[in-house]
Amino acid sequence: MTSKEASPFRVGLLGHGTVGGAFEHLLSERADAIGREIGRRPEIVGVLTRSRGSFEDILERSDLVVELIGGTDPALDYALRSLDAGRHLVSANKQLLSQHGEQLFEAAGRSGAQLRFEAAVAGVVPVIRVIGESLAGAHIERVHGIVNGTTNFILTAMERTGASYGDALREAQELGFAEADPTEDVTGKDAAAKMAILARLAFGAPVHLDEVPYEGIEGITADDIAYAKELGLSLKLIGSAERRPEGLSVHVYPAFLYAGHPLAAVNGSFNAVTIESPAITEITLSGPGAGGTQTASAVLGDVVSAMIPPSFNPPPASPQPLVTDVESAFYLHVEVADRPGVLAQVAEILGLQGVSIKSVVQKGIGEDARLAMVMHPVLESRFRAAVGLIGRLDFVRSTPRVIRVIEEVFE
């Protein structure tokens, strides 16, 4: 079939910024080839921004609506009205999906329209499709990954050059890897939204952004990274979603990884997600996590998938308990007066709480000393209780710093 014979597939575009503009450009480049391949040629029938277009008019004329506005207001209203009207919806909006996913899935289920959102998590890395479709036959035990490119860029720069957090953030902003206001990225909130979406898909349970505890990287110092290097560790902002006997655990936190972990080698602004299931052992997907063209490519992939039946909508979710106090290995960094017996006292407090030390680095700095230690896995509440007591010892010079360590090595 020639592209002229292909019938039109009408796409309404909401938002024409970084991703929306790149999407329109990519679609015009690829439309003929798609028309030849699948017999329908996608074409944009209307564009909505703050200053042009009418949503009602676009809805009326579209087979599918692409939402690239961001945020939840007015994106939620437009998304629900599109699905209710039976229009397929493609969105790159993690806030929308992590806060109103159930409402949207229900609307899609009612009208039979497809809801696709590959670009909402890890940019062009096809993790939504792999979890929702390719691995639909596997019982997924855990999904963990690096789902924020800004923080990975900053941490990689700190590790490679010894730069401070502030200097690495400024470099990221100058190179366009961090926004002028980086709060959502560096606090871990952006990653938390993405993990809520992945947990929903992997475990079939509703997980709202508000239920995902997150920690960011603003407190990480060049020291933490330098000491950890000596212990063979590298630091990443990890999103983790896993099944545990007590329920689901979904968290975002900075964590040290040993070199053999598949996520340890993911550097710069790249994203990567590891999916674990007994049936498949583990799969790691990685690639660019953002960028207008890259994200637009994932959006167009969703549009083409929606053009080809059969449709896929996730099955209804059933609630499962969410747990927050779970076992982990930890790194502890304490600045202390350099005098005999200090390490023994710290070790005693840890021991009384059932925390056992795996490795220690101790360095003198003038009259003080620094202790950097890695613990064996322990329930977080016990470890935090010990750290609270250590922080109150008279020879401790500053608030102890704690970072999780992911112990697994994949060989």
Ligand X SMILES: NC(=O)c1ccc[n+]([C@@H]2O[C@H](COP(=O)([O-])OP(=O)(O)OC[C@H]3O[C@@H](n4cnc5c(N)ncnc54)[C@H](OP(=O)(O)O)[C@@H]3O)[C@@H](O)[C@H]2O)c1
Binding site for ligand X (CB under 6 A): 15-20, 48-51, 68-70, 74, 92-94, 119, 123, 290-292, 295
CA 108/CA 115 separation, integer angstroms? 6
CA end-to-end span of the chain, whole Å? 48
Please indicate whether residue 236 is annotated as part of the active site. no
Element (H, E) at 129: helix 127-129
CA 284/CA 275 separation, integer angstroms? 6
**Between residues 54 and 356, which has the closer beta carbon with respect to ligand X?**
54
Least distance CB 92 / ligand X (angstroms): 4
**Residue facing ligand X at closest CB distance:** 17
Q: From the CB of residue 311, how many other CB atoms can be counted at a distance below 10 Å?
A: 14
Q: From the CB of residue 17, how many other CB atoms can be counted at a distance below 10 Å?
A: 12
Least distance CB 372 / ligand X (angstroms): 36
Q: Which amino acid is at 40?
A: R
**Between residues 287 and 292, which has the closer beta carbon with respect to ligand X?**
292
Least distance CB 351 / ligand X (angstroms): 46
**Measured CA distances, 194 to 9, 95, 98, 293, 364 (Å):** 30, 8, 7, 20, 42
Q: From the CB of residue 314, how many other CB atoms can be counted at a distance below 10 Å?
A: 17
**Between residues 93 and 249, which has the closer beta carbon with respect to ligand X?**
93
Active-site pick, 194, 229, 236, 358:
194
**Between residues 296 and 322, which has the closer beta carbon with respect to ligand X?**
296
**Between residues 128 and 405, which has the closer beta carbon with respect to ligand X?**
128
Give 212: exposed, middle or buried? Use CB within 10 Å, 0-12, 13-18, 19+.
buried
CA 403/CA 398 separation, integer angstroms? 16
**Between residues 123 and 400, which has the closer beta carbon with respect to ligand X?**
123
Q: Which residues of 128-161 are buried (b: 16+ CB within 10 A; e: fewer)?
A: bbbbbeebeebebbbbbbbbbbbbbbbbbbbbee
| Spacing of C-alpha 32 from chain mean position | 34
Least distance CB 81 / ligand X (angstroms): 13
| Spacing of C-alpha 69 from chain mean position | 20
Least distance CB 34 / ligand X (angstroms): 21
Least distance CB 292 / ligand X (angstroms): 6
Q: Which residues are catalytic?
A: 194
